[in-house]
Amino acid sequence: MAQASFDDVDLVIKTMATTIVDNAEYFAHLDSIVGDGDFGYSLRNGFEVVAADYDTFDRSSVGAVLKKIGIVISGKVGGVSGPIWGTAFLRAGAAAGDRTELAPEDVIAMLRAAITGIMARGGASLGEKTLLDALVPATDSLEAAIGDPALKGDHGVAAVQRAADVAVKAAEETKSMLAMRGRAAYTGERSIGSVDAGATAVGVILQAIASAWREKYGEGASA
């Protein structure tokens, strides 16, 4: 896997923002099954601002961009999602620091920092039916791909797709879990049988990023 440029970071963030806005109703529907149903709409409120204002953000470093996104999300997204997703970006930004390019190891460090931040902010752990149950396995998959000789030479196309597929599968597996965090936790046994909206969102977002990454770097791409 090669270095990721600032343009690559732009691609990931813009794809993420567009995907969240476009899937707001779907995410809200999933959340409404055992939650309060505002997850998709709340997240959209923040990422609409990110999408609209992104080109005005401080671009002196990857860390500066991510920290700005974290501030926007924390301020614009209501409920528990704002602090949790905002913290994820703030922690990832701190890990990125003043870099303007990212090595694969930097990306993993950023994701691990985001995960640690989510755990600290939300008090959640793996297996409690949250977005962590998709994000952590996807990060594990991406980290494993860095050292896989079979996945070298394609600018991470296969690795990113594999991580996205792992996230989707892991999100589906939250269906059998008992919710331990958020509004869904109050429903007790009723939370079993439906997927977690946050984990599903992670899978949908990563699939969109994988598709955009393949379009830019896959076989036949002009880049």
The structure's pTM equals 0.91
pLDDT tens, position by position, 22-40: 999 999 998 887 666 788 9
Domains with residue ranges and CATH for the chain: 6-217 (1.25.40.340)
Distance CA 146, CA 155 (A): 11
200 contacts 134 by C-beta, under 8 angstroms = yes
Mean pLDDT throughout 4-21? 97
Find the angle CA(32)-CA(49)-CA(161) to the nearest 5 degrees: 70
Cβ(73)–Cβ(112) below 8 Å: no
For residues 167-180, give the mean pLDDT: 84
Is pLDDT at 8 greater than 90 in this prediction? yes
Closest by CA to 3, choosing from 97, 99, 102, is 102
**Residue 24 burial (C-beta neighbours within 10 Å; 0-12, 13-18, 19+):** buried
pLDDT at residue 223 tops 50 = no
Q: Which candidate, 121, 41, 123, places its Cα nearest to that of 89?
A: 121
Work out the pLDDT band at 176, boundaries 50, 70, 90.
confident
Position 86 pLDDT exceeds 90: yes
